[in-house]
Amino acid sequence: MTEPRLPLIHHPGYSFDWPARHPFPMAKFHALRARLSELGFDDDPAVEWITPPPAHDRQLLRVHTPAYLQTFHLGDADPLARKRSGFPWSPALVRRTLLEVGGTLATLEAALRTGLACNTAGGTHHAYPDAASGYCLLNDLAIAAREAIEMHGIRQVLIIDCDVHQGDGTAWAFRHEPRVFTFSIHGEHNFPFTKRESDLDMALPRGTGDEDYLTMLERHVPALLERLQPELVLYDAGADVHAGDRLGHFELSHAGVTRRDRFVLKQCLMADIPVAAVIGGGYDRDLAALADRHARLHCVARELWRQR
Protein backbone atom coordinates (compact mmCIF):
# COMPACT_ATOMS: atom_id res chain seq x y z
CA MET A 1 0.00 0.00 0.00
CA THR A 2 1.34 3.44 -0.86
CA GLU A 3 1.73 6.03 1.86
CA PRO A 4 -1.14 8.55 1.94
CA ARG A 5 -0.13 12.02 0.81
CA LEU A 6 -1.20 15.39 2.20
CA PRO A 7 -4.15 16.55 0.05
CA LEU A 8 -4.02 20.17 -1.06
CA ILE A 9 -6.97 21.48 -3.02
CA HIS A 10 -6.66 24.14 -5.69
CA HIS A 11 -8.46 25.20 -8.85
CA PRO A 12 -6.91 27.67 -11.31
CA GLY A 13 -10.37 29.19 -11.60
CA TYR A 14 -10.32 30.47 -7.98
CA SER A 15 -8.79 33.67 -9.41
CA PHE A 16 -10.24 35.25 -12.52
CA ASP A 17 -10.13 38.49 -14.46
CA TRP A 18 -11.05 41.14 -11.87
CA PRO A 19 -11.12 44.94 -11.66
CA ALA A 20 -7.58 45.97 -10.70
CA ARG A 21 -8.74 48.67 -8.29
CA HIS A 22 -11.22 46.49 -6.42
CA PRO A 23 -10.24 46.19 -2.73
CA PHE A 24 -10.72 42.39 -2.71
CA PRO A 25 -7.47 40.77 -3.92
CA MET A 26 -9.02 38.18 -6.26
CA ALA A 27 -5.59 37.38 -7.73
CA LYS A 28 -4.35 36.11 -4.35
CA PHE A 29 -5.40 32.49 -4.96
CA HIS A 30 -3.25 32.35 -8.07
CA ALA A 31 -0.41 34.08 -6.19
CA LEU A 32 -0.72 31.59 -3.32
CA ARG A 33 -0.52 28.63 -5.70
CA ALA A 34 2.59 30.17 -7.31
CA ARG A 35 4.15 30.73 -3.88
CA LEU A 36 3.52 27.07 -2.98
CA SER A 37 5.30 26.07 -6.19
CA GLU A 38 8.29 28.18 -5.13
CA LEU A 39 8.21 26.46 -1.75
CA GLY A 40 8.58 23.06 -3.42
CA PHE A 41 5.00 21.82 -3.19
CA ASP A 42 4.77 20.73 -6.86
CA ASP A 43 7.21 17.85 -6.84
CA ASP A 44 6.94 16.94 -3.16
CA PRO A 45 6.12 13.21 -2.99
CA ALA A 46 4.32 13.82 0.33
CA VAL A 47 1.77 16.13 -1.34
CA GLU A 48 -1.26 15.28 -3.48
CA TRP A 49 -2.82 18.12 -5.49
CA ILE A 50 -6.56 17.84 -6.09
CA THR A 51 -8.54 19.91 -8.60
CA PRO A 52 -12.12 20.15 -7.32
CA PRO A 53 -15.35 20.18 -9.31
CA PRO A 54 -17.78 23.06 -8.76
CA ALA A 55 -20.30 22.69 -5.93
CA HIS A 56 -23.75 21.50 -6.92
CA ASP A 57 -26.99 23.31 -6.09
CA ARG A 58 -28.21 20.33 -4.03
CA GLN A 59 -25.21 20.90 -1.72
CA LEU A 60 -25.80 24.65 -1.50
CA LEU A 61 -29.49 24.13 -0.73
CA ARG A 62 -28.63 22.47 2.57
CA VAL A 63 -27.67 25.97 3.79
CA HIS A 64 -28.97 28.59 1.37
CA THR A 65 -32.59 29.39 0.56
CA PRO A 66 -33.92 28.67 -2.96
CA ALA A 67 -34.80 32.35 -3.39
CA TYR A 68 -31.29 33.48 -2.48
CA LEU A 69 -29.69 30.89 -4.76
CA GLN A 70 -31.72 32.18 -7.65
CA THR A 71 -30.39 35.67 -6.91
CA PHE A 72 -26.86 34.29 -6.62
CA HIS A 73 -27.09 32.63 -10.05
CA LEU A 74 -28.88 35.42 -11.88
CA GLY A 75 -27.71 38.59 -10.10
CA ASP A 76 -29.71 40.76 -7.72
CA ALA A 77 -31.95 43.43 -9.13
CA ASP A 78 -31.82 45.29 -5.80
CA PRO A 79 -28.82 47.66 -5.70
CA LEU A 80 -28.70 47.60 -1.87
CA ALA A 81 -28.42 43.81 -1.81
CA ARG A 82 -25.75 44.01 -4.51
CA LYS A 83 -23.78 46.47 -2.38
CA ARG A 84 -23.90 44.19 0.65
CA SER A 85 -21.85 41.51 -1.12
CA GLY A 86 -19.10 44.02 -1.91
CA PHE A 87 -18.65 42.35 -5.32
CA PRO A 88 -19.66 43.31 -8.87
CA TRP A 89 -21.91 40.42 -9.96
CA SER A 90 -21.06 38.53 -13.15
CA PRO A 91 -21.52 34.98 -14.47
CA ALA A 92 -17.74 34.54 -14.09
CA LEU A 93 -18.00 35.46 -10.40
CA VAL A 94 -20.72 32.82 -9.97
CA ARG A 95 -18.48 30.21 -11.62
CA ARG A 96 -15.46 30.94 -9.42
CA THR A 97 -17.60 31.00 -6.27
CA LEU A 98 -18.97 27.53 -7.11
CA LEU A 99 -15.39 26.32 -7.61
CA GLU A 100 -14.32 27.77 -4.25
CA VAL A 101 -17.18 26.00 -2.43
CA GLY A 102 -16.43 22.84 -4.44
CA GLY A 103 -12.86 23.21 -3.19
CA THR A 104 -13.89 23.30 0.45
CA LEU A 105 -16.15 20.28 -0.13
CA ALA A 106 -13.21 18.42 -1.72
CA THR A 107 -11.09 19.46 1.28
CA LEU A 108 -13.69 17.96 3.59
CA GLU A 109 -13.73 14.68 1.61
CA ALA A 110 -9.95 14.52 1.62
CA ALA A 111 -9.70 15.31 5.34
CA LEU A 112 -12.14 12.52 6.18
CA ARG A 113 -10.00 10.17 4.07
CA THR A 114 -6.54 11.16 5.34
CA GLY A 115 -7.03 13.18 8.55
CA LEU A 116 -5.80 16.53 7.20
CA ALA A 117 -6.38 18.56 4.04
CA CYS A 118 -6.08 22.23 3.07
CA ASN A 119 -7.79 24.36 0.47
CA THR A 120 -6.04 27.32 -1.21
CA ALA A 121 -9.25 29.36 -0.86
CA GLY A 122 -12.43 29.29 1.26
CA GLY A 123 -13.60 30.68 4.56
CA THR A 124 -16.52 32.76 3.25
CA HIS A 125 -18.08 32.94 6.69
CA HIS A 126 -20.09 36.16 6.34
CA ALA A 127 -22.59 34.70 3.86
CA TYR A 128 -26.03 34.09 5.39
CA PRO A 129 -28.51 31.44 4.26
CA ASP A 130 -30.50 34.16 2.48
CA ALA A 131 -27.97 36.92 1.78
CA ALA A 132 -24.44 37.76 0.65
CA SER A 133 -22.27 39.86 2.93
CA GLY A 134 -18.71 41.15 3.21
CA TYR A 135 -17.13 39.56 0.08
CA CYS A 136 -18.94 36.28 0.78
CA LEU A 137 -21.64 34.98 -1.57
CA LEU A 138 -21.96 31.39 -0.35
CA ASN A 139 -20.93 30.06 3.06
CA ASP A 140 -18.50 27.26 2.22
CA LEU A 141 -17.90 26.35 5.89
CA ALA A 142 -21.62 25.94 6.55
CA ILE A 143 -22.12 23.96 3.32
CA ALA A 144 -19.22 21.65 4.22
CA ALA A 145 -20.54 21.12 7.76
CA ARG A 146 -23.97 20.15 6.38
CA GLU A 147 -22.38 17.84 3.81
CA ALA A 148 -20.39 16.16 6.60
CA ILE A 149 -23.53 15.54 8.65
CA GLU A 150 -25.84 14.48 5.86
CA MET A 151 -23.51 12.57 3.53
CA HIS A 152 -20.87 11.24 5.94
CA GLY A 153 -22.90 10.64 9.10
CA ILE A 154 -20.73 12.99 11.17
CA ARG A 155 -22.43 13.56 14.51
CA GLN A 156 -20.44 16.54 15.78
CA VAL A 157 -18.61 19.24 13.82
CA LEU A 158 -16.45 21.93 15.42
CA ILE A 159 -15.77 25.07 13.40
CA ILE A 160 -12.68 26.90 14.62
CA ASP A 161 -12.85 30.32 12.97
CA CYS A 162 -9.62 32.26 13.49
CA ASP A 163 -10.26 34.88 10.79
CA VAL A 164 -9.96 38.36 12.33
CA HIS A 165 -13.62 39.02 11.46
CA GLN A 166 -16.42 37.28 13.31
CA GLY A 167 -18.01 34.29 11.51
CA ASP A 168 -21.46 35.84 11.71
CA GLY A 169 -23.07 34.00 8.79
CA THR A 170 -21.92 30.63 10.08
CA ALA A 171 -23.04 31.39 13.63
CA TRP A 172 -26.46 32.38 12.32
CA ALA A 173 -26.81 29.37 10.02
CA PHE A 174 -26.22 26.97 12.94
CA ARG A 175 -27.93 28.86 15.75
CA HIS A 176 -30.41 25.98 16.18
CA GLU A 177 -28.06 23.14 15.22
CA PRO A 178 -26.36 21.37 18.16
CA ARG A 179 -24.36 19.10 15.82
CA VAL A 180 -22.29 22.08 14.66
CA PHE A 181 -20.39 24.01 17.31
CA THR A 182 -19.20 27.43 16.15
CA PHE A 183 -16.13 28.99 17.78
CA SER A 184 -15.01 32.42 16.57
CA ILE A 185 -11.99 34.34 17.84
CA HIS A 186 -12.01 37.81 16.29
CA GLY A 187 -11.58 41.57 16.62
CA GLU A 188 -14.15 43.18 18.86
CA HIS A 189 -14.29 46.42 16.85
CA ASN A 190 -14.06 45.05 13.34
CA PHE A 191 -16.56 44.03 10.65
CA PRO A 192 -19.28 42.70 11.03
CA PHE A 193 -20.39 45.51 13.29
CA THR A 194 -23.50 43.58 14.29
CA LYS A 195 -22.14 40.32 15.66
CA ARG A 196 -24.15 37.09 15.81
CA GLU A 197 -23.87 34.75 18.74
CA SER A 198 -21.57 31.82 18.05
CA ASP A 199 -21.54 28.87 20.46
CA LEU A 200 -18.33 30.45 21.73
CA ASP A 201 -17.10 33.95 20.86
CA MET A 202 -13.76 35.43 21.86
CA ALA A 203 -13.80 39.12 20.99
CA LEU A 204 -10.34 40.63 21.39
CA PRO A 205 -9.36 44.30 21.41
CA ARG A 206 -7.54 46.24 18.72
CA GLY A 207 -3.80 45.69 18.75
CA THR A 208 -3.96 42.14 20.13
CA GLY A 209 -0.55 40.52 19.64
CA ASP A 210 0.92 37.04 19.57
CA GLU A 211 1.00 36.25 23.27
CA ASP A 212 -2.54 37.35 24.21
CA TYR A 213 -4.00 35.73 21.11
CA LEU A 214 -2.21 32.41 21.54
CA THR A 215 -3.01 32.30 25.25
CA MET A 216 -6.72 32.48 24.38
CA LEU A 217 -6.44 29.74 21.78
CA GLU A 218 -4.42 27.51 24.08
CA ARG A 219 -7.04 27.96 26.77
CA HIS A 220 -10.03 27.11 24.58
CA VAL A 221 -9.12 24.75 21.72
CA PRO A 222 -7.96 21.73 23.77
CA ALA A 223 -10.91 22.14 26.13
CA LEU A 224 -13.38 22.26 23.23
CA LEU A 225 -11.89 19.15 21.63
CA GLU A 226 -12.06 17.35 24.94
CA ARG A 227 -15.59 18.44 25.77
CA LEU A 228 -17.24 18.09 22.35
CA GLN A 229 -15.30 15.10 21.00
CA PRO A 230 -15.96 16.35 17.44
CA GLU A 231 -15.64 13.93 14.54
CA LEU A 232 -14.53 16.75 12.24
CA VAL A 233 -12.91 20.18 12.61
CA LEU A 234 -13.31 22.87 9.96
CA TYR A 235 -10.51 25.36 10.48
CA ASP A 236 -10.62 28.90 9.06
CA ALA A 237 -7.00 30.06 9.13
CA GLY A 238 -7.69 33.71 8.24
CA ALA A 239 -4.40 35.51 7.58
CA ASP A 240 -5.99 38.88 8.32
CA VAL A 241 -4.87 38.63 11.98
CA HIS A 242 -1.40 39.56 10.66
CA ALA A 243 -0.03 42.96 11.74
CA GLY A 244 0.44 43.97 8.08
CA ASP A 245 -3.16 43.26 7.05
CA ARG A 246 -5.13 46.18 5.61
CA LEU A 247 -8.43 45.18 7.24
CA GLY A 248 -7.34 43.49 10.46
CA HIS A 249 -6.69 45.38 13.67
CA PHE A 250 -4.47 42.78 15.28
CA GLU A 251 -0.71 42.78 15.55
CA LEU A 252 0.20 39.14 15.09
CA SER A 253 3.68 38.50 13.70
CA HIS A 254 4.54 36.05 10.95
CA ALA A 255 5.81 33.68 13.64
CA GLY A 256 2.64 34.19 15.67
CA VAL A 257 0.36 33.21 12.75
CA THR A 258 2.54 30.17 12.11
CA ARG A 259 2.36 29.15 15.77
CA ARG A 260 -1.42 29.54 15.69
CA ASP A 261 -1.85 27.29 12.66
CA ARG A 262 0.57 24.73 14.05
CA PHE A 263 -1.20 24.70 17.40
CA VAL A 264 -4.70 24.21 15.99
CA LEU A 265 -3.71 21.55 13.45
CA LYS A 266 -1.53 19.70 15.93
CA GLN A 267 -4.25 19.61 18.59
CA CYS A 268 -6.63 18.03 16.07
CA LEU A 269 -4.07 15.53 14.80
CA MET A 270 -3.05 14.51 18.33
CA ALA A 271 -6.71 13.89 19.17
CA ASP A 272 -7.13 11.96 15.89
CA ILE A 273 -9.82 14.33 14.62
CA PRO A 274 -9.91 14.96 10.86
CA VAL A 275 -9.30 18.62 10.08
CA ALA A 276 -10.22 20.44 6.86
CA ALA A 277 -8.55 23.86 6.63
CA VAL A 278 -9.39 26.89 4.50
CA ILE A 279 -7.33 30.06 4.11
CA GLY A 280 -9.88 32.70 5.16
CA GLY A 281 -9.34 36.43 4.82
CA GLY A 282 -6.17 38.29 3.99
CA TYR A 283 -5.89 41.75 2.46
CA ASP A 284 -2.80 43.43 1.13
CA ARG A 285 -1.95 45.28 -2.06
CA ASP A 286 1.37 43.44 -1.99
CA LEU A 287 0.24 40.08 -3.39
CA ALA A 288 3.58 38.37 -2.82
CA ALA A 289 3.52 39.27 0.89
CA LEU A 290 -0.11 38.19 1.16
CA ALA A 291 0.47 34.88 -0.64
CA ASP A 292 3.35 34.13 1.70
CA ARG A 293 1.14 34.79 4.75
CA HIS A 294 -1.51 32.40 3.45
CA ALA A 295 1.15 29.81 2.58
CA ARG A 296 2.05 29.47 6.29
CA LEU A 297 -0.98 27.18 6.66
CA HIS A 298 0.19 24.79 3.95
CA CYS A 299 3.78 24.84 5.20
CA VAL A 300 2.66 23.98 8.72
CA ALA A 301 0.35 21.23 7.41
CA ARG A 302 3.23 19.71 5.43
CA GLU A 303 5.59 19.92 8.42
CA LEU A 304 3.05 18.12 10.67
CA TRP A 305 2.30 15.59 7.94
CA ARG A 306 5.98 14.67 7.69
CA GLN A 307 6.18 14.21 11.47
CA ARG A 308 3.30 11.74 11.60
The residue among 256 and 281 lying less far from Zn ion, judged by its C-beta, is 281
Q: Is 281 an interacting residue with respect to Zn ion (CB under 5 A)?
A: yes
Q: Is 199 an interacting residue with respect to Zn ion (CB under 5 A)?
A: no
Between CA 121 and CA 119 the distance in angstroms is 5
Supply the minimum distance, in Å, between the C-beta of residue 234 and Zn ion. 15
Between CA 111 and CA 81 the distance in angstroms is 35
The neighbour count for residue 192, using CB atoms within 10 Å, is 16
Q: Is 240 an interacting residue with respect to Zn ion (CB under 5 A)?
A: yes
Question: Distance between the two ends of the chain, CA-based, in angstroms?
Answer: 17
Stretch that binds Zn ion, among 52-60, 154-162, 222-230, 236-244 (CB under 5 A): 236-244
Between CA 149 and CA 26 the distance in angstroms is 31
Q: Known catalytic residues?
A: 126
Between CA 84 and CA 25 the distance in angstroms is 17
Supply the minimum distance, in Å, between the C-beta of residue 206 and Zn ion. 15
User: Of 152-171, which residues contact Zn ion (CB under 5 A)?
Assistant: 163, 165
- What type of residue sits at position 68? Y
Stretch that binds Zn ion, among 6-14, 113-121, 167-175, 276-284 (CB under 5 A): 276-284
The residue among 29 and 305 lying less far from Zn ion, judged by its C-beta, is 29
Angle between helices 254-270 and 287-307 (to 10 degrees): 30
Judged by CB under 5 A, the number of residues near Zn ion is: 5
Residue with nearest beta carbon to Zn ion: 281
Supply the minimum distance, in Å, between the C-beta of residue 190 and Zn ion. 8
Q: Residues 71-80, buried b or exposed e (16+ Cβ, 10 A)?
A: bbeeebeeee
Tallying the residues shown for the chain, one arrives at: 308
- What type of residue sits at position 101? V
Stretch that binds Zn ion, among 14-22, 114-122, 222-230, 233-241 (CB under 5 A): 233-241
Supply the minimum distance, in Å, between the C-beta of residue 127 and Zn ion. 13
- What type of residue sits at position 126? H
Q: Is 140 an interacting residue with respect to Zn ion (CB under 5 A)?
A: no
Residues of the shown chain interacting with Zn ion in the complex, contacts defined by CB under 5 A: 163, 165, 238, 240, 281
